[in-house]
Structure 1
């Protein structure tokens, strides 16, 4: 166990699997009490159990990030139980691929509700408690390399992740103007081994009947030649939450093995 965020309280949405799980485990391993939220209750409970077994502190809360009243309740619960909130990792997200000509409006709206509305609602409801805590805070919004460059058959996903990118910068300016000590940054993962490829894989290769081979894709597209793991993203999130990044706000942390520079 480390102490880079000792005594802090963190909220990680979509923390039951993938990048969210990696972030929750990493923050807990460095001393934070982590509130893990998701709609995958069994997996969420498993994550918390693992954190506690490793000597960390965490709790699980069922949480639909698209519902404003639920967000209000989640943050109120953190205020009541912990009295503070230092870090928010807006990670919950989905990926719906396919041609823009065939995408259903209901799918467009569902993806936007989770990937973009959820980030907005989390930020809106968490900042007041961060300000009450009195020590500033850090908001980390998980975007994607798809928020930096376009990708065929992922127009809806790109739209949400691009929105997260500029939303982050605008809120960073608002918090800086308020002199509240809250820093707001976005993280842009590349080809990371996570469950999201089960849903966006067909967009990468419409003729495939199975999830894409990330190792093969990485060999071809990533300059470093390998895929990433949730821990690679979690390491960046930990840095953005820690005091080591005290002079960093409104920035894009790209963790992609060089994918976007090719």
Structure 2
């Protein structure tokens, strides 16, 4: 099986990460509580229009409360979007940079993922069906949706990395320098805490899923300065503005392409 084909017609969901609390230009039509068999999503799902494109927006960490990455109810979030008919999800993640090209202020559109999380609800399969439900996760991000993001970044003149390996750790603490050296040896380019099981759950639901990662700090041991909330917050605010600009270019292109 090759990378997943993009399903049609398009019904777009955006999962906002740290620093992305709204979609630029969203004309709000309503909110959906989204409660489902897996619990409540991080917050009600906002439905609105952007340049004639219907969009469903969900803030992963909640708002105004902040849910830590290991306590996010990823199953409830994805199921809430699926229940609203969402076929595509563009997720936003804040990450640390490991590879030399992944410097703070860089946007990355990863093509691979390595899952180091534990103890999270990683699947919808509770065994009740009596049949093994394997999914092909060879290529964890939807190919066509990734290309659309990359093309939008190029059209908008936004510097970005069109590929990379996204390591996902448990959090909420940051990694040690030794852990980062291990991640580098294992081929990881960036590291964050929220990319899994979100991507795999989307695949289980048949939702086309891709992510835009904002590098907000050098990974532990790779920078000259201590990792502080203030330093990361300043870079995050700048990158969040760039991501909002990228989404502003991406949404009408998706609609025009009929993805």
Same fold (TM > 0.5):
no
Q: What TM-score does the superposition give when structure 1 sets the normalisation length?
A: 0.36
Q: Which has the higher helix share?
A: 1
Highest relative contact order (Cα 8 Å, sep 6+), 1 or 2?
2
Q: Which has the higher strand share?
A: 2
